[in-house]
């Protein structure tokens, strides 16, 4: 007898509950922060939305509902992040530089062809912190979409002692959302040089967000 298709592994109940808690908490944060910058536009031109991994939590909530497909690690931690992103309205593609990278890039290219923006952390999922890996640059080169650098920062936050100094935003805080200059990557461009330029624009957006938070006291 020929075996039938293997069923996808069920998501553990603990992961589903954690996804729901993250979703509810981030909605609380976004509902209670006081923005010192204009709110994100309701619609973006199709683009590749990037932010550093340490600002993941607030960025994904601030940009929900923008018809974006997000790249999510295939690690165990990625399981509940994947669930939270889907609750926030994102399409998700699982993969990382160490596991499923080629398949993830193919799926993201298909999402771009369907008109989705793409969302990712160019230094994730394991770093080095604030060093752009080639994935977003390759996708920009293949799709022609601009890369939009984003910084999302809150004044009240817990900073974890992790590889990226992950920022856990707290409710009722001042918040800033800053967009850097979009970066285009042409077919003949050197990806290493483009990566350094992307790092510069992302770091500049982060510095401006922190400046605005300080000025808003």
| DSSP class per residue in 97-130 | SSSSHHHHHHHHHHHHHTT-EEEE-TTTTT--TT
Reported confidence tier of residue 106, pLDDT bands at 50, 70, 90: very high
99 has a pLDDT exceeding 70: no
**pLDDT in the model for residue 153:** 97
Residue 5, in any domain of the structure: no
**202 or 5, greater pLDDT:** 202
Q: The domain containing residue 141 runs over which residues?
A: 36-215
Residue 92, in any domain of the structure: yes
Cα-Cα-Cα-Cα torsion 75, 76, 78, 79, nearest 10 degrees, comes to: 130
Residue 15, in any domain of the structure: no
Backbone angles phi, psi at 100, to 5 degrees: 70, 25
By three-state DSSP, how is residue 148 classified? strand
**pLDDT in the model for residue 71:** 94
Residue 146, in any domain of the structure: yes
Q: Running DSSP on this structure, what letter comes out for residue 160?
A: -
The answer to whether 172 and 152 are in contact (CB under 8 A) is no
Give residue-wise pLDDT tens across range 166-188: 999 999 999 999 999 999 999 99
User: What's the mean pLDDT in 132-153?
Assistant: 97
Closest CA to 18 of 92, 95, 85, 90: 85
Residue 65, in any domain of the structure: yes
Residue 157, in any domain of the structure: yes
Count of domains observed in the chain: 1
- Residue 41 burial by CB count (10 A; 0-12/13-18/19+): exposed, middle or buried? exposed
**pLDDT in the model for residue 1:** 39
By three-state DSSP, how is residue 206 classified? helix
The answer to whether 21 and 88 are in contact (CB under 8 A) is no
98 has a pLDDT exceeding 90: no
User: What's the mean pLDDT in 83-95?
Assistant: 94
Residue 82, in any domain of the structure: yes
Reported confidence tier of residue 13, pLDDT bands at 50, 70, 90: confident
Residue 208, in any domain of the structure: yes
pLDDT above 90: percentage of residues in the chain: 79
């Amino acid at each position: 007898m020929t075996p039938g298709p293997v069923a996808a592994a069920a998501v553990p109940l603990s992961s589903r509950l954690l996804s729901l808690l993250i979703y509810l908490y981030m909605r609380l944060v976004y509902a209670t922060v006081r923005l010192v910058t204009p709110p994100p536009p309701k619609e973006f031109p199709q683009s590749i939305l990037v932010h550093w991994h340490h600002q993941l939590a607030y960025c994904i909530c601030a940009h929900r509902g923008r018809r974006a497909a997000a790249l999510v690690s295939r690690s165990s931690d990625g399981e509940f992040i994947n669930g939270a992103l889907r609750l926030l309205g994102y399409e998700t593609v699982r993969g990382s530089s160490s596991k499923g990278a080629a398949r993830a890039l193919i799926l993201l290219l298909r999402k771009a062809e369907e008109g989705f923006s793409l969302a990712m952390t160019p230094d994730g999922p394991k770093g080095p912190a604030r060093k752009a890996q080639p994935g977003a640059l390759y996708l920009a080169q293949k799709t022609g979409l601009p890369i939009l650098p984003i910084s999302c920062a809150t004044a009240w936050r817990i900073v974890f002692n992790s590889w990226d100094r992950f920022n856990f935003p707290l409710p009722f805080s001042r918040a800033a959302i800053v967009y850097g200059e979009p970066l285009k990557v042409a077919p003949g461009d050197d990806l290493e040089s483009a990566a350094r330029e992307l790092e510069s624009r992302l770091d500049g957006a982060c510095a401006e967000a922190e400046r605005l938070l300080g000025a808003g006291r």
